[in-house]
A = this chain, B = another copy of it.
Amino acid sequence: MRTKQVEKIRIFSLGGVGEIGKNMYVVELDDDIFVIDAGVMFPEDEMLGIDKVIPDISYLVERQDRIKAIFLTHGHEEHIGAIAYVLKKIAVPVYGTKLTLGLAESILKEQGITNAKLIEIRSDSEIFFDKAKVTFFRTIHSIPDSVGISIHTSQGAIVYTSDFKFDQTPYGKNRADLGKMAQIGEQGVLCLLSDSTNAERPGYTGSDTLVAQEIADVIYNADGRVFVACYASNVTRIQQVLHAAKQYGRKVAVVGKTLHKVMDIAVRLGYLHLPEKVTISIYDIDRYDDKELIILTTGGHGEPMSALARMAKQAHKQVNIKKGDTVIVAASVMPGYELIFSKTIDSLYRAGANVIYRERKVHVSGHGCQEELKLMLNLMKPKYFIPVHGEYRMQKAHANLAKAVGISEERTFLIDKGDVIEFRNGVARPGGKVPYGNILIDGLGIGDVGNIVLRDRRLLSQDGILIVVVTLSKEAKKIIAGPEIISRGFVYVRESETLLDEATKIVANIVNKCLQTYVIEWSSLKSNIREALSQFLFEKTKRKPMILPIIMEV
């Protein structure tokens, strides 16, 4: 089956470059649009109160009749977490491997989407579209059933590796399709999009098999209970713990909703082997000796630290840390979470636990380091290279690696979100910009928290708020109630009575003066109050609370 000639190819990212998370890449073959991944990002500190961030897909929504497919490369939230939001706006078939679709389906179900068209692929599937044949290659990552994707066009292949590492002794049955990657490279890769997460780290990411041995060793030598905290999505790590438990005659109690969910799906679909009689309910742990127990846990969002922190502070509903426990933190720190991470380690030590985290190799990254990234570049031998999946400095470091293996700077594109790279006759050049952005999700609200709301939250978080209420009689031209001043997050009121008394007087003066004028201008009255109070409070306290005058008229 032959595919048609393609005149113009456009590649861009709606998420995943200049950041870690919310991966979404778009490949356009003339009029046909292909979307790869639909991830969420967990917000950084400065996005106060925000739960999740997803890519702005208005570009896709406006062109939805041209979209042929969404491909999901693996089951991590950063790659599939936005699928429900996308399918609510765009009806388009979704392709993925079995485990990936299983996890995606559970997200869709939670969001009430039941009519999605999910098409299961295997790593040897070939899918034919008008102008492309799409194939896949198995990769090693921290979740099974991960694939890279290759879009074969008349100008050459466009290859997206997604998240990968080259583990020569991987744990379990996963193997990377090395031969297939080499073959794709031999046939001619027009453009490679590859994972930059660990592009700043020299050498190789360690093997998961060594991690399994290390975890088993810690469990074997532990005198009491063993807690293992990992990401809920790290099916490989979970499998290692289950096997070690079986080996050393321990029972595993699983704590955490997300962890339960992922394990259910992975077991049901055959990606997680549950040894017989190994798991027990957390409510039954008192029936066993400490030396017979492993508690496997993750917290909210499936990340490892929040539940551990509660357990260390004796505030968890089901199980808490006690002296003699061993805690294995089988996870690395997410950017922005360093402080929470180290505070939790501290609390665990204080609670008397023996904490295993950095000095022993109980965890390795799911992303390849510099030598692995270079190997991928050498296998694929792309004409053009776009480092993706990472902060700008990681993309930059990845570009340097490409240069080292012989891909010149002119053939490497350091793109930001929305930057289009256009290919005609196999030659690339920048092709303008498409709209992109962050959609913030806060509770049920999708996109209703914008910059103004965030700015207000930031202001409120710094010096609090001061509310001034006064009720006026328009007719009588006088104050009939107030001014009343209420503050929150500014100063502790009992200690600052005189300060607020003085402030009240200032407001009363301004209002009375205004009432004497012929035409009362409310807006200028409000801004007068705001300015006078702001100046007064800054002089007295060097703080700048938000000041909110409310004038009620009768």
Contacts and interface: CB of A to CB of B under 8 A. Distances in A.
Interface string A438-472: 00001111001110111011111111110101010
B393 A346 contact: yes
A371 interface: no
Given A342-B391, A464-B457, A448 B496 contact: yes
Contacts of A462: 48-49, 457
A490 B452 CA distance: 10
A486 B546 CA distance: 13
Interface in A404-453: 442-445, 448-450, 452-453
Contact of A448 (B44, B481, B486, B492): B492
B469 A552 contact: yes
The 3 A-B pairs at the shortest CB distance, nearest first, are namely A443-B542, A461-B461, A460-B460
Contacts of A492: 448-450, 452-453
A484 B349 CA distance: 51
A349 B486 contact: no
Given A471-B481, A488-B548, 20 more contacts: A49-B461, A49-B463, A49-B464, A335-B342, A342-B391, A346-B391, A350-B392, A442-B543, A445-B543, A448-B496, A449-B491, A452-B492, A457-B489, A459-B489, A471-B552, A480-B554, A481-B554, A482-B552, A484-B552, A486-B548
Contacts of A524: none
A45 B336 CA distance: 11
A445 B491 contact: yes
Contacts of A336: 338-339
- Which of A465, A495, A541 gathers the greatest number of chain B CB atoms within 10 Å? A465
A458 B456 contact: no
A526 to B, nearest CB: 12
A445 B453 CA distance: 28
A393 B339 contact: no
B488 A456 contact: yes
11 contacts: A200-B358, A335-B338, A336-B338, A338-B338, A349-B396, A350-B392, A442-B543, A445-B542, A457-B462, A461-B461, A552-B552
A44 B343 CA distance: 11
Contacts of A445: 491, 541-543
Nearest to A460: B460
B49 A444 contact: no
A443 B491 CA distance: 11
B448 A495 contact: yes
A465 B488 contact: yes
A491 B449 CA distance: 6
A305 to B, nearest CB: 14
B339 A456 contact: no
Interface of A is mostly: mixed
A44 B471 contact: no
Contacts of A280: none
Contacts of A346: 18, 391-393
A471 B393 contact: no
A247 B548 CA distance: 58
A550 interface: yes
Contacts of A200: 358-359
A4 interface: no
Contacts of A541: 442-445
A179 to B, nearest CB: 34
Contacts of A450: 492
Interface string A527-554: 0000000000000111100101010111
Contact of A460 (B457, B491, B540): B457
Contacts of A448: 491-492, 495-496
Interface in A337-360: 338-339, 342, 345-346, 349-350, 355, 358-359
Interface string A181-225: 000000000000000000010000000000000000000000000
Contact of A464 (B338, B350, B456): B456
Given A444-B542, A457-B489, A462-B48, A481 B553 contact: yes
A343 to B, nearest CB: 8
Contacts of A342: 335, 391, 393
B489 A543 contact: no
Given A200-B358, A444-B541, A456 B396 contact: no
